[in-house]
Amino acid sequence: MSDNYTFAKSMQPQSINDYSPYQDKQSNNYINDLNNGVYTNNGLTLVNFDLGAIYNSQKYTSTEDLTVAIPITMVAAYGSGTGLSANSPGANNVALCSIKSNFVNLIHQADLQINGKTIESTQPFINVARNFQMLSELDEIDLHTQGSTLGFADHLDNYKSMRYTSSGGSGSGISNNRVFGNGTDHQTTYSINQNGTVINSALQYKMGRYIDTSGNANGLGSVLSTTQMANEARPYFTRSTDVSGSYMIWYDVAVIKLSTIFESLGKIGLVKRFDATVRLWINTGTVGITVGNPNTATASYTMTASNNTFSNTCPLMINYFGTTDAIMATSTTTTVVAGLYIARPPTTSMMGINLALSGASHYLQNCRLYYPQITLQPEKSIQYSESNRNKNVVYRSVVSNLYTNIGVGGTFNALVNAGIVAPCAVLVCPFISASAAGFGDSAWKSPFDTAPALGHPVSLTNFNVSIGGSNVLQSTLNYSYEHFLQQVNLAEQMTSSDFGVSTGLISEDLWRWSKWYFCNVERSAIADKKQPRNVNVTFNNNSSLALDVLIFIFYTDELTIDVETGIVTK
């Protein structure tokens, strides 16, 4: 089929006048959010944008390119007893904290309105669904060229460095936060248990994202000051200005294309007089962990649910320092308190530590929304406008459900939605339950676990989905990677294989360690697609621990827009 593509490309007429239909494009326009620099930074933080400010009757706005920039400030401190450690942190503490893969995981839920009409409504855990879509659509070249911009490393988190323990070690429950060790994703000696010294090298890559202004071997402090790095919005690590430099501070900017959250924006295209509002609920909060045997090879991390103010996904990673190097403040260090915030930390009281005393304040004080303004060539503008005064836009939206504590060997059989129109896919994401996770909370709230960027190595059997009372699968499946591959390919998440291009980052090995159960349900009679139908999901928990399960139903929706007036009909 790639031959056909090459031939068709060769047949395409060429003209110098066809180089670009644009007469002008300005991409660096931005508006600030409506928060005026005020963010709760405790649990979900609501950020509002009013796109009425970019309303323009002369120029087009490309909705696909709308991008938000979120000023991220992470702050951490070591504690001894009931308060701040009296000693300075050791060297190389830039490695203590990082952000979980994919900046999308910063967003818990979101909604979009155009002309006062709700286009995509608020659904919790939208980050989990969109993260899966991105892993299905990106390829290895994307990771190498755009990974850092999107919040990934140049490769995915290493699933072989996952650990499970009910208490202690590199963190209660599943952990994947070992950043130091033999420096490789693979086992290098036979004299230890399988994967015994394997680390998550993706964390090392993301650690290197931050220039350590408190000390690095590159001498970059003589080349760029913190002020100069802030001028170009470069991520960096620094220490507070108190005598002991007690607080560790990371500054970053998370860049998220809104079309990865709202698929409708990716489908609308160019439009004049675009009038919309966007609301984003950002995962922010503070965690406090207890450290045993600090600065030793047997260091241990534990945490209780009461010492975690993240109400949903915790996008913050606290990386494991199981080393005899004196990285932590002293051998008497007993706690680590850390948080992830927009712009600056709030007043906190976690394990006797107030991170606001760090004085941390981001060089960007507001979230920004960047938008392009485009002037088409006159003849192209007339052609485009006349052809799209009644443009039909079809896109996929999603609804979510959470089911907790599905017992060992238990059967799950539930009506997950009573009356949804045009469902196209069902995604089941199982995680080790809060009741079995070691610290008594959901896996995605753990600062030790890469979840929900990756899933867990659990097992579901006898899997099936029914739509309107009819099973989608001919028989229940002991679901394997082959079924997953078939279902994802059939859903045609991004690029048809007809073009000879393969996409997706989910290999068989990754899937066996990080389970996503996907079922394509879009095939049906046209008359049935337009009718509300029930969606049932069944499976058995074939794991040795109880599970919490997120279930997403993707469905097709549509709207009509006049690209000249921006008026939407839905």
DSSP letters spanning 267-309: HH-EESS--EEEEEEEEEEEEEEEEESTTSTT-EEE--GGGB-
- Tell me the one-letter amino acid at 382: I
Q: Which one is predicted more confidently, 539 or 329?
A: 539
Q: Report the mean per-residue pLDDT for the chain.
A: 88
Residues 6+ apart with CB under 8 A from 134: 102, 104, 150, 260
Q: What is the dihedral of CA 247, 314, 304, 181, to 10 degrees?
A: -70
User: Read out DSSP for 162-200?
Assistant: -EEESSSTTSSEEE--B--SSSSSS---SSSSTTTT---
What pLDDT sits at residue 495? 42
d(CA 310, CA 319): 17
Name the most confidently modeled range: 14-28, 52-66, 291-305.
52-66
Residue 493's pLDDT band (cuts 50, 70, 90): very low
Phi, psi at 2, each rounded to 5°: -65, -30
Which of 183-187, 346-350, 358-362 has the weakest average pLDDT? 183-187
Question: In percent, how much of the chain has pLDDT > 70?
Answer: 90
Which of 414-418, 495-499, 502-506 has the weakest average pLDDT? 495-499
Q: What is the pLDDT of residues 124-138, one digit of tens each?
A: 999 999 999 999 888
Average pLDDT over residues 243-252: 86
Which of 61-75, 87-101, 438-452, 538-552 has the weakest average pLDDT? 87-101
Residue 144 three-state SS: helix
Residue 360's pLDDT band (cuts 50, 70, 90): very high
Phi, psi at 44, each rounded to 5°: -75, 130
d(CA 62, CA 41): 31
What pLDDT sits at residue 494? 41
Parallel, antiparallel or unpaired: strands 22-32 and 270-271: unpaired
User: Read out DSSP for 530-561?
Assistant: TS-EEEEEEEEE-SSS-EEEEEEEEEEEEEEE
Cβ–Cβ under 8 Å, residues 562 and 430:
no
What is the DSSP secondary structure assignment for residue 100, as one 8-state letter? P
Tell me: pLDDT of 268 over 70.
yes
What pLDDT sits at residue 499? 44
Q: Cis bond leading into 372, ω under 30°?
A: no
Tell me: pLDDT of 363 over 70.
yes
What pLDDT sits at residue 497? 42
At 165, list the tokens: 């323990």
Average pLDDT over residues 392-399: 96
Q: What is the dihedral of CA 365, 363, 288, 440, to 10 degrees?
A: 60
End-to-end CA distance of the chain: 38
Tell me: pLDDT of 18 over 90.
no
> CA–CA distance from 208 to each of 24, 96, 201, 250, 478 (Å)?
37, 12, 11, 12, 41
What pLDDT sits at residue 500? 44
d(CA 294, CA 300): 8
Residue 16's pLDDT band (cuts 50, 70, 90): confident
Name the most confidently modeled range: 179-193, 294-308, 391-405, 518-532.
391-405
Name the most confidently modeled range: 44-53, 295-304, 525-534.
44-53
What pLDDT sits at residue 322? 72
In the chain the domains, ranked by start, together with CATH numbers, are 25-375 (no CATH), 389-569 (2.70.9)
Tell me: pLDDT of 498 over 50.
no
Average pLDDT over residues 503-514: 87
